[in-house]
Amino acid sequence: MAEPVALVALAVEAAVGWPAGLYARIGHPVGAFAAIISGCETRLNRPSRPFAARRMAGVGVVLVLTVLVGGTAFGLQRGSAMLGEWGWVACALLAVPGLAQRSLFDHVRAVQIALLNGDLKRARGAVAMIVGRDTRTLDTAGVARAAIESLAESFCDGVAAPLFWLLVGGLPGLWVYKAINTADSLIGHREPRWRAFGWAAARTDDALNLIPARLAGVLLCLVGAGGWRTLWRDAGKHASPNAGWTEAAMAGALGLSLAGPIAYDNVVAAKPWIGDGRRDADAGDIGHALALYVRACLALWLVAGVVAWAL
């Protein structure tokens, strides 16, 4: 049996997350990635530069991130191995910040609590922490739907995909994924400002999520005991080639309709509906989604344990 690095990392992150005190003292690795990306964007993505030059600059940023982050993670992994018999524990602890089971649960739970207390304003503020859409005019159903959609999509981005790349590529695999995923969230947009510069980040993130997203969607249907029909039919309706898999699985398992028209910067995007639900989502549905999410995370713990045992 190989050392259960991934399993221990999942367990530690679920138990303590990334404590606020630690965040206040040293921040989070993703914050360092964001600073690098934002600095490069400011210097290299000037509107006066030709489209092709900005696209190549974006490719360069992805390559630099991959080499810098991957090389650092590889060095830390080798350093952990030099600690001896229990060096794998250090490796597991270094993987903890790359997983987001606890923080995602806590953010979505905060939305549910606000809705249960009848505080729509607070619920809008809580959901604004985890979605990019306009939240100021969302009604209760809109807030609940946004929280569930974010939970479904982030189950892949924040948990399943990082775990997949940790199992496949160790610390370098995990942290390169997190760096590229951060780049995609910051610059991988279709608006004119980022279309050229963020192209490489968006395409690379799509490639890295290709397998994990599909596995995550299947896993949600398995632990949710349903949703298969919606998964196969509606996964392709999402603008992202990957996010639709977990959103469709969640919609089908809960019997809801997700997505639909969404406003960004006061402009409504006419996105198609995912799912067959004929009722509005509410705080109870967020609770059901969180229960499904917890079961899916525990299933990933099982996968991590089986992989360690098999190796």
Alpha-carbon distance 254 to 275, whole Å?
A: 9
- Residue pair 267/92 in contact (Cβ under 8 Å)? The answer is no
Question: 185 pLDDT exceeds 60?
Answer: yes
Q: In this predicted structure, what is the pLDDT of residue 104?
A: 96
Q: In this predicted structure, what is the pLDDT of residue 304?
A: 95
User: Tokens 């982030």 belong to which residue?
Assistant: 154
Provide mean pLDDT across the span 192-218.
96
Question: 1 pLDDT exceeds 60?
Answer: no
What integer best gives the mean pLDDT of the chain? 92
Question: 196 pLDDT exceeds 80?
Answer: yes
Model pTM?
Answer: 0.94
Is 273 in a helix, a strand, or coil? strand
- Residue pair 219/300 in contact (Cβ under 8 Å)? The answer is yes
Pairing mode, strands 262-264 and 258-259: unpaired
Question: 277 pLDDT exceeds 90?
Answer: no
- Residue pair 59/203 in contact (Cβ under 8 Å)? The answer is no
Q: Which two tokens stand for residue 258?
A: 């997700």
Q: In this predicted structure, what is the pLDDT of residue 71?
A: 97
Provide mean pLDDT across the span 12-29.
89
Q: In this predicted structure, what is the pLDDT of residue 157?
A: 95
Alpha-carbon distance 69 to 62, whole Å?
A: 10
Q: In this predicted structure, what is the pLDDT of residue 201?
A: 97
Provide mean pLDDT across the span 55-62.
96
* Tally of domains within the chain: 1
Alpha-carbon distance 46 to 51, whole Å?
A: 10
Task: Provide CB contacts within 8 A for 117, sequence distance 6+.
Answer: none
Question: Residue 267: pLDDT band by 50, 70, 90 thresholds?
Answer: low
Question: 263 pLDDT exceeds 90?
Answer: no
Alpha-carbon distance 52 to 58, whole Å?
A: 10
Q: Domain residues for 280?
A: 5-310
Q: In this predicted structure, what is the pLDDT of residue 266?
A: 62
Q: Whose CA is closest to 286, among 175, 158, 140, 77?
A: 140
Provide mean pLDDT across the span 267-275.
77
Write the DSSP string, 63-119.
HHHHHHHHHHHHHHHHHHHTT-TTHHHHHHHHHGGG--HHHHHHHHHHHHHHHHTT-
Tell me, what amino acid is at 190?
R
